[in-house]
């Protein structure tokens, strides 16, 4: 297997995130070489084992260097033999580490490469590849981390059937032994969980202020460091929410069922039921942005995280105005224009830094 491999397409293929056309093209590519099916099956085993393992930055760096070296060697071999290597479907050239699916796949590509190249007998790179594979497959490694930046979302599918939509500027960490007795994850930010229920292996979400245990459900947990409270809302099924700070008592934990919501502050008040707002709680996972009767000042941090923009107010009094709106897959420019109309202000600024200025000062 000397031709370049599109690791991103292969990752999408294993994660079942590719289109039907891309899957057909990948099936054809695998069938084109008699050795490839066995190699791909070995590779798939590495993918499965990798789920729930960590994302060491050293692996990404090492893999990037390895890709560069292998590309150079492959080009030299092709030139010497007069052949031109074929790429897999939807190849993005030699930049194999620049995934179109989230960066969480990048380090798994290292294990994928290790399996295929070792099977192919690429002796020159055997020590590097072996070290990468051992580093990734080690059961003693710490928890795997998924992270998004501002303006980003990530859809995470775990091998137990659980799907997680990780919100903007958020971080999710799987426990080092996620597949042990309790399937535990830690969250900073917001995420929508659709959990494959397993009574023998409870699914637990931990934040700075809450512990939420799934009892067979789809639910959202939100706990940004800048938020005054943590919020849990249930779409289907039911959960149990526990306050990290409250003393033992009736309000320390509370069951929630479909349509319920609760907040938890960093104090002894415990779990407080609140009115659910399904659109505001869940719309973001589908690319919409919904707010109901929210102070403008409280809305700005969410806009910054969701659209990777910074907005300041020329007059702090603007921050007390209330906003209700829904934006469906619209860009920051349109949202800023709409906000200006709602609060009687105009927008000044360029690129990612904007100021809302009251119209009376225009």
Write phi, then psi, for 308 (nearest 5 degrees): 55, 50
Q: Are 123 and 239 part of one and the same domain?
A: no
Round to whole Å and give the CA distance between 125 and 171.
34
For residue 80, being part of any structural domain is answered with yes
For residue 2, being part of any structural domain is answered with no
> How confident is residue 338, by pLDDT bands cut at 50, 70 and 90?
very high
Q: Are 179 and 209 part of one and the same domain?
A: yes
> How confident is residue 160, by pLDDT bands cut at 50, 70 and 90?
confident
Round to whole Å and give the CA distance between 211 and 145.
19
Q: Are 275 and 293 part of one and the same domain?
A: no
Q: Are 130 and 161 part of one and the same domain?
A: no
Domain boundary among 234, 251, 280: 280
Q: Are 238 and 163 part of one and the same domain?
A: yes
Per-residue model confidence as pLDDT tens digits over 270-299: 899 998 898 899 999 888 889 999 999 999
Domain boundary among 251, 280, 309: 280
Round to whole Å and give the CA distance between 179 and 174.
10
Is 267 in contact with 229 (CB distance < 8 Å)? no
**Of the listed ranges 63-72, 130-139, 265-274, the one predicted with least confidence:** 130-139
- Name the residue with higher pLDDT: 132 or 347: 347
Of all residues in the chain, the percent with pLDDT exceeding 70 is 67
For residue 173, being part of any structural domain is answered with yes
Q: 255: helix, coil or strand?
A: strand
Give the structural domain span for 37: 7-137
Q: What is the mean pLDDT of residues 93-109?
A: 35
Statement: residue 166 has pLDDT above 70? yes
Q: Are 149 and 276 part of one and the same domain?
A: yes
Round to whole Å and give the CA distance between 97 and 109.
8
Domain boundary among 230, 261, 280: 280
For residue 1, being part of any structural domain is answered with no
pLDDT of residue 16: 67
Q: Are 132 and 155 part of one and the same domain?
A: no
Statement: residue 183 has pLDDT above 90? no
Q: Are 222 and 346 part of one and the same domain?
A: no
Residue 199 sits in a domain of what CATH number? 2.60.120.1440
Is 200 in contact with 185 (CB distance < 8 Å)? no
Residue 353 sits in a domain of what CATH number? 3.55.50.30
DSSP class of residue 62? H
Task: Give the chain's domain count.
Answer: 3
Statement: residue 138 has pLDDT above 50? no
Q: What is the CA radius of gyration of the chain?
A: 24
Label the pairing between strands 183-194 and 203-206. parallel
Round to whole Å and give the CA distance between 222 and 170.
10
Round to whole Å and give the CA distance between 299 and 336.
12
Query: Where are the alpha helices (H) located in the chain, listed in sequence order?
Result: 7-15, 20-31, 36-50, 57-81, 106-120, 126-137, 278-282, 296-307, 332-343
- Name the residue with higher pLDDT: 37 or 122: 37
Statement: residue 171 has pLDDT above 90? yes
Round to whole Å and give the CA distance between 126 and 69.
13
CA 333 to chain centre: 25
Q: Are 333 and 354 part of one and the same domain?
A: yes
Q: Are 154 and 89 part of one and the same domain?
A: no
């Amino acid at each position: 297997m000397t031709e370049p491999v599109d690791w991103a397409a292969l990752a999408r293929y294993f994660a079942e995130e590719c289109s039907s056309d891309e899957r057909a093209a990948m099936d054809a590519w695998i069938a084109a070489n008699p050795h490839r099916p066995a190699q791909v099956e070995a590779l798939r085993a590495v993918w499965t084992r990798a789920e729930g393992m960590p994302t060491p930055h050293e692996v990404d760096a090492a893999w990037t260097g390895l890709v560069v070296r292998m590309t150079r060697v492959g080009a030299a071999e092709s030139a010497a033999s007069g052949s031109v290597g074929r790429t897999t479907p939807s190849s993005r050239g030699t930049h194999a580490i620049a995934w179109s699916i989230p960066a969480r796949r990048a380090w798994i590509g290292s294990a994928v490469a290790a399996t295929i190249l070792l099977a192919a007998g690429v002796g020159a790179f055997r020590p590097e590849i072996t070290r990468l594979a051992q580093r990734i497959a080690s059961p003693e490694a710490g928890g795997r981390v998924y992270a998004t930046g501002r303006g980003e979302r990530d859809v995470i599918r775990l091998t137990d059937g659980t799907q997680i939509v990780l919100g903007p500027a958020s971080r999710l960490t799987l426990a080092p032994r996620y597949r042990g007795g309790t399937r535990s994850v830690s969250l900073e930010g917001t995420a929508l969980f659709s959990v494959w229920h397993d009574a023998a292996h409870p699914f637990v979400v931990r934040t700075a202020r809450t512990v939420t245990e799934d009892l067979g459900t789809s639910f959202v947990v939100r706990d940004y460091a800048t938020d005054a409270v943590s919020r849990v809302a249930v779409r289907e099924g039911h959960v149990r929410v526990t306050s990290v700070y409250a003393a033992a008592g009736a309000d320390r934990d509370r069951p929630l069922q479909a349509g319920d919501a609760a907040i938890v502050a960093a104090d002894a008040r415990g779990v407080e039921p609140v009115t659910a707002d399904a659109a505001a709680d869940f719309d973001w996972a589908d690319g919409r942005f919904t707010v109901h009767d929210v102070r403008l000042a409280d809305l700005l941090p969410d806009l910054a995280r969701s659209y990777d923009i910074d907005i300041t107010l020329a007059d702090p009094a603007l921050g007390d105005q209330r906003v209700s709106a829904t934006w469906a897959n619209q860009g920051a420019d349109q949202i800023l224009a709409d906000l200006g109309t709602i609060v009687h202000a105009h927008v000044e600024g360029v690129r990612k830094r904007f100021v809302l200025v009251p119209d009376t000062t225009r």
